[in-house]
Amino acid sequence: MAPFQKRPRPSFSGRSRSSRAPKISSHPRNASASIAPKPSLPGRSRHAERPLSRLGAERRCLLRVCCEPGSDILHELETFASAYLKQRFRPSLAQSVATASYELCSNAINYSSVATDVTFEVWSSTTAIEVCVHNEAVLARLEVLRQVTERILANPEDAYLQEMRRSIAGKMPRAMLGLARVVHEAGMDLKLQVDGRSVRVTARCPR
């Protein structure tokens, strides 16, 4: 199946009622989107490096994007992230990371609460790549997310087929086929962290 659907591109020239156009900046604290081409230096704030796990001392944030829940930025984000990843990694790795980026961002943007922005990051080290998405969600959605994640980790192929059937049948609650794709198709490890209503989903693969 085709991983993405092309849609009319939203303009970055202004703001709409439901979306906020990101800005590219070399300073991630003051921007909605940023690229960090240089490794993190000693003394940088812990907040900037907390999403990393087991990536080693050479870890660095390659890409960070913040957007409003429910915004229509997903197509533009997919286009930019895919092109950027193709320039940095071999084709197979770039495709896996791009798939995880799209699916995790899609879930977060579409199902997040409106209380906080959705934050998407790509982290890298000499040994691994991580895609991290952080957002807030309603409690009922969190329980479904936990159950689906447990099923995917227990048997990725079976969970993928189940979510595919649910997606085709249009059953409720809505299928989480994207999460299954991250593990089954992209071949990445999946980790779910929940703290109250705060959710962090991380997809990780070796370089």
| 118-137 per-position pLDDT tens digit | 999 999 998 999 999 999 98
The pLDDT of residue 175 is 64
**Residue keyed to tokens 């991983």:** 3
Assess if CATH 3.30.565.10 describes domain 27-36+50-206.
Answer: yes
d(CA 59, CA 3): 29
Selection from 78, 66, 111 nearest residue 10 by Cα: 78
Mean pLDDT, the chain, integer: 77
- Flag whether pLDDT at 12 surpasses 50: no
- Where is pLDDT greater, at 179 or 21? 179
How do beta strands 24-25 and 33-35 pair?
parallel
Question: pTM, whole model, 2 decimals?
Answer: 0.70
- Where is pLDDT greater, at 25 or 130? 130
Selection from 94, 118, 122, 117 nearest residue 107 by Cα: 118
CA torsion through residues 34, 94, 158, 54, sign: negative
Asked whether the beta carbons of 168 and 90 are under 8 A apart, the reply is no
88-116 confidence digits (pLDDT tens)? 999 999 999 999 999 999 989 888 887 78
